[in-house]
Every structure is written in C-alpha cells, then in structure tokens.
Amino acid sequence: MRQGVEIFIFGAGNPAQYIEKIKLAKRTIMVVVASESLAQRLEREGADAIIGEGMECGGHIGSVTTMTLIPKLARTLHIPVIAAGGIATPEQVKASFALGAKGVQIGTRFIASEECEAHDNYKAQIIKAKIRDTVITGSRLGHPARSIKTKFTRKLGKLEYDSPEEVESLLIGSLRKAFQTGNEEDGVFMAGQSIGLIDDIKPVKDIISELFDFDLQQDEQQDKVIESLKE
C-alpha cells in the first residue's frame, strides 16, 4: 500500500486476515474463488468483487465448471462477479455476461500474445494444442493443477500415486523452466482448456479488440428470435 497500489487481487487461499487492514486503507479487493461458500464468506469479510474461476482454467483448479459457478455466484452475492476459467473467444465473453458476470479474467489467451514474456516454445505448445491436450496433476497431493499434456506431466501423474515425495521434488522450479526456457523435459506449462480455441499469436491490443468485438446486429436478431418463441 505504501507503493500506491489501489487494487489487491488474491489468487489463492483465504485472505480474510488481510482484508480488514487493506479496507482501512480504502483499497479495492478482489479474490479468486472456486466455490460459493468461500465467496460468501469473503463478501462478508469485505471483498469488493469476486473472481469466480471454473475448473477449465490453467494452474490450480477447483471442482466446479465456469458454466455452473458463475450463475450461482451472480445469484448469491451482492458484489460484482468476474468470470474466469476457459475463456478465450468473444462468444465466451458474451456468455460470461449472460451468466451474470460483470467482467472477465483471461489468462491462457494472453500467453499467446506478442507482449507476453513466455518462451516461444510455451506459446507454440498453446497454438498446436487441442481442447483435450491438458491434464490435471496433483490431485493425490491435495492441490490439483491443470497444465498442457507432455511426457513430463504424464510422468508426474504416475508418480504422485507411487512416490509423492519425488513429485514434490520434481515440481521445484518447473514453472520457471517452462516459462523462461521452454523446457519440455522438466517444465510444467500451465494452461486452461481454452488452448484448443487459440490459433494464433497476436498483439494484446488485437486480442482485446477481438474479444469484445460483438456483432450488435446479430444480437438484435437473436433477441427477435427469442421474442417470437415466447409468443
């Protein structure tokens, strides 16, 4: 806060112990959650917005899909809900708003951008992947995470049942290896299921323009169809 940070986003665990101090400094707090119970608690604690992250996301995941989590949070909470998890196309952005979200948080799509500092191999992994080319590891260890399917992640998946201690050792530095050097032998390329919807690498400006380039005329036509079905 001494550095002038205006918005705090907590991405893991329960930050309730920090909220009061941050609120006293009149800062905005947003928290990433994967369940309605934690979202409700954090709203009571003073969070200003909730980022509901479905299990389609990359990295550490919950057990509920974005399609189910977002409308539940939107109905339950009295603060804004931001949708996250598997979102990479304009259609999915529109769907998020239709489900009750006031905004979207997008991760994997922006790895495949010109400005992202991820290694070119990381970006290439995303571009060539299909929608089933992610895998969940770490479930046995109590912290499931989604990443791109590689020989290394398949190895981790087997070892977590036979030798969890070895898995913990192998994971040390694995994210850095993937991001900085593109190392497929020892790196973990965290990414969401949306990898199968990403076909190119382009500037962030173009990605944002594409994501929010809604066809308003098409929306009006759809509204007319819905109204005719009601008659």
pLDDT, one tens digit per residue, over 83-139 is 999 999 999 999 999 999 999 999 999 999 999 999 999 999 999 999 999 999 988
**Left if phi > 0, otherwise alpha if psi is -120 to 50, otherwise beta: which for 25?**
alpha
pLDDT range class, residue 218, cuts 50, 70, 90:
low
Phi, psi torsion values for 72, nearest 5 degrees: -65, -45
pLDDT, one tens digit per residue, over 137-179 is 988 888 899 999 999 999 998 888 888 888 888 999 999 999 9
What domains does the chain contain, in order, with CATH numbers? 7-106 (3.20.20.70), 120-197 (no CATH)
Strand 134-137 and strand 145-148: the pairing is antiparallel
DSSP string, 69-133: HHHHHHHH-SS-EEEESS--SHHHHHHHHHTT-SEEE--HHHHTBSS--S-HHHHHHHHH--TT-
Query: Percent of the chain having pLDDT more than 90?
Result: 73
pLDDT range class, residue 217, cuts 50, 70, 90:
very low
CA distances from 74 to 23, 66, 101 (A): 23, 12, 7
Across the chain, which distance is largest between two alpha carbons, in Å?
A: 63
Cα gap 130→75, rounded to integer Å: 33
- Predicted local distance difference test score (pLDDT) of residue 226: 47
Are 191 and 147 spatial neighbours (Cβ–Cβ below 8 Å)? yes
What lies within 8 Å, CB to CB, of 208 at 6+ separation is none
